[in-house]
Amino acid sequence: MNEHDSVKEETLHIIREVDENPAVNQRLLSERLNISLGKTNYLLKALAQKGLIKIVNFTKFPQKSKRKVVKYLLTKKGLDEKIGLTHHFLQKKEKEYKRLKEEYEKYVLVREEER
């Protein structure tokens, strides 16, 4: 997998997590996706800048609160991206499956000829 696909995959995983649990925090996202907290923060900000997610602050009095409460909401553009990325990876996995199946069938054929 090249670096570009890796970023696409991380993006898809974050979008899925946000879609399933808008109240998820960055630390939990980082742990679930096995990426650093800094990278999680960077990716979330990038997704917000692209308009794929919306970051909403739910702290009533942010000046007085020690802990910031935010939710990450998937936008329509984010949902479209999720569908597109899912399709991309399904096609890629299908191609890989076909290649492996052909390789397996060749192996089985060679084994049968040896008998």
d(CA 49, CA 111): 55
Determine the length of the chain.
115
pLDDT at 64: 62
pLDDT at 114: 81
Q: Among residues 85, 84, 75, 83, which one has the least CA distance to residue 8? A: 85
pLDDT at 63: 62
| Number of neighbouring beta carbons within 10 Å of residue 53 | 26
d(CA 38, CA 29): 11
**56-68 average pLDDT score:** 69
Residues 6 or more apart whose CB falls under 8 angstroms from that of 1 comprise 9
| Number of neighbouring beta carbons within 10 Å of residue 44 | 19
56-65, 70-79, 91-100, range with the lowest pLDDT: 56-65
Helix (H, G, I), strand (E, B) or coil at 34: coil
- The pTM of the full predicted model, rounded to 2 decimals, is 0.74
pLDDT at 60: 65
Going from the N-terminus, what domains does the chain have, and what CATH number goes with each?
Answer: 3-114 (1.10.10.10)
pLDDT at 68: 76
26-30, 55-59, 60-64, 102-106, range with the lowest pLDDT: 60-64
pLDDT at 66: 67
Amino acid identity, residue 3? E
d(CA 59, CA 85): 32
Tell whether the model's pLDDT for residue 104 goes beyond 90: yes
Looking at the DSSP bridge assignments, the partners of residue 54 are 73
